[in-house]
Amino acid sequence: MLAVFVCCTGAFAIVQMFNRAQGTAGMQRFGWLFLTSVGAGATIWCTHFVAMLAYKAGVPVALDPVLTIVSLIVAIGGTSIGLAVATWRQNRLCSIAGGILVGAAISAMHFTGMAAYRVDGIIEWRWPYVIASLLCAVTFAGAAFAALGTGQLGRYRIPIGTGLLVTAIATLHFVAMTALRIVPLRLSATPLDPAQMHALGLATALVGLVVIATGVFAALIDRWTRSDAMQRLHHMAMSDALTDLPNRVGFQNELTRQLGIARATNTRLGFVAIDLDRFKEINDVHGHKAGDDVLAALAHRMRGEMGRHDVVARLGGDEFVAITRFEDRLQLAAFVTRIETALKTPLSIGQFDTSVGASIGIAVYPEDAGDAETLANNADLAMYRAKSEGSPTPCFYDAPLDQIIRDRRELANDLRRAIDENRLEVHYQVQASIATQEVTGYEALLRWTHPERGPISPSVFIPIAEENGLILPLGEWVMRRACTDAVGWENDLKVAVNVSPVQLAHADLPRLFHQIMLDTGLPPRRLEIELTETAIMADRAHALHVLRQIKALGVGVALDDFGTGYSSLETLRAFPFDKIKLDRLFVSELDGSPETIAIIRAVLALGKSLSIPVLAEGIETDLQLDVLRREGCDEAQGFLLGYPQPVSAAGPSPFIEGSDGKPLPGRNDLSNAA
């Protein structure tokens, strides 16, 4: 019974350590294979000798110490070879081959140990039983390691492998012992008496169990360490490092779980999207460390307001989300109120006090959505509506209202893809001298034809680009494309490109212009940028500094849409513009409006006094052109002179030319221009 206990305990330890060896590589695998080999050798050896010490031979018995030790070495060395083969490749063939070698090691140890078993008698072996014992050992050991090497058995792999290994050791021993016959002679003078046999058996079992226990605890410690490490890694993967709230991945898992519970219990689930207000100001004024402290403090507050079935998470930046299961709408309202209070209550961070607040959007399952993705998206739409409207209260999802926001977000994604895939176009509209009737340049106008919605107006997609952080890559794309096209023209006319307020606020704009001109080879004198005075007034000192850097490159600067917005004379005095563009609003009212003519006359006089040429936009009729000519306007642009056109592959198609190849003076045929 003691031998059977040692065998079962040892087999369990062998399987555990072998399982660890399979999951490692390099020196770690070598270490686990060594421990497994020692445990396996000790198990086989102790099982054999404890059982042999219990065997009643009927004659005096003695043990050869050298062969006894050799049998232990055979057990450890043989099983180490088999285990190494079993883990060499992760396939069934190697597992079976390794198991067969382990079975052979069990057999070799048994018969070496039997050689150390000295009795006063003649030993005879019945070979059919010997052969049967060998076949049992290699068959069951091969099956054991085949079971341990496959994943098909699932959680039954370990117990099946352990049982087969015990069977391999036990059948080898007991079938082989059945093959043994002893004819007594009683020649020994110093046989082992029964008390010595029992003591030796207990000592052998104890040593074997200590060795086996060492391996078992090594495997358990490794498992506990791995489990703790996996738990820490799982927590790190699912949690936000700054706030310790669930991150995007962790929240998605929790949202899926909560939706499943809501479906099963027929309850409702509220999804709250939260975007902090005035958070950028804290970062800009007090630094990112203060911003991190604010996020951590608000996260702590919101977590304190969560109930047993509520979850709050940080998805990134200043974006938070929360979910709650409820039955009554009042419960959802109370939940949102608690979040609002936590966010709006003033904070004391270091040396400053602040109050943040947030834009909040809410969507409800199952009324607003039936799945996690749609629910989150609808809550986001409601939150964007709250932010765009400056709503002081949370906004619930409203399909008709939020459809507009959904369309704008889809357009933003499509525009980003169009920029990346180079699917935008630049059209060019002619600018001409009114006095000489010669073409002086072309304005680059961005055009976008959506693959499904058709042409999208710049008045639609430019604001979308500004709202979604696309205006900088979009502006760079237009500038690079316009300069590249202009280099290919057959003349040295200027190309004018519009610059948005967001671009002008970027400190690297002069460096970008310089790099584009170097890359395309366009001389700076042939490039002109157009910007509104509203763009300058956003940060007047910074804007004028950037414009002076651009002008120092040799690039011309035109003041666009003059007559609307601020129209500050101080701006004209502070910065020497190369051109003033009179807004099309005044040109459209030239017919029969003495007041408009008087304003235009004053602007033209101002331009002449400052030596700044004036270009009138939106010329569509001969009467408008005649009035501007009479009043002394320098240049004109509009459909009368030519519609915006793309550059064709054949050459500079935006140039409206006569039969002699020179710019056509006066009014161009609109059909040809189109």
Contact by Cβ (8 Å): 510, 478: no
Give the integer Cα–Cα distance in Å for 191 and 194. 10
Give the integer Cα–Cα distance in Å for 347 and 353. 6
Helix count and strand count (H, E) for the chain: 24, 21
List 275, 318, 368, 485, catalytic entry: 318
Give the integer Cα–Cα distance in Å for 65 and 55. 18
Beta-carbon neighbour count of residue 27 at 10 Å?
Answer: 8
Residue ranges in 442-559 assigned as alpha helix (H): 458-467, 471-487, 501-504, 509-520, 533-537, 540-552
Q: Is 352 left (phi over 0), alpha (psi -120 to 50) or beta?
A: beta
318 is catalytic: yes
**157-178 vs 26-54: helix crossing angle, rounded to 10:** 40
Residue ranges in 305-450 assigned as alpha helix (H): 329-344, 372-389, 399-420
Give the integer Cα–Cα distance in Å for 653 and 645. 7
Contact by Cβ (8 Å): 101, 110: no
Radius of gyration of the chain (CA): 44
What is the length of the chain? 674
> What is the token pair recorded at 283?
């970062």
Q: What is the largest CA-CA distance in the chain?
A: 145
Say how many Å lie between the first and final Cα of the chain, rounded: 103
Contact by Cβ (8 Å): 240, 246: yes
Give the integer Cα–Cα distance in Å for 48 and 75. 11
> What is the sign, positive or negative, of the torsion defined by CA atoms of 106, 108, 110, 116?
negative
Give the integer Cα–Cα distance in Å for 239 and 241. 6
Catalytic residues, by residue number, are 318
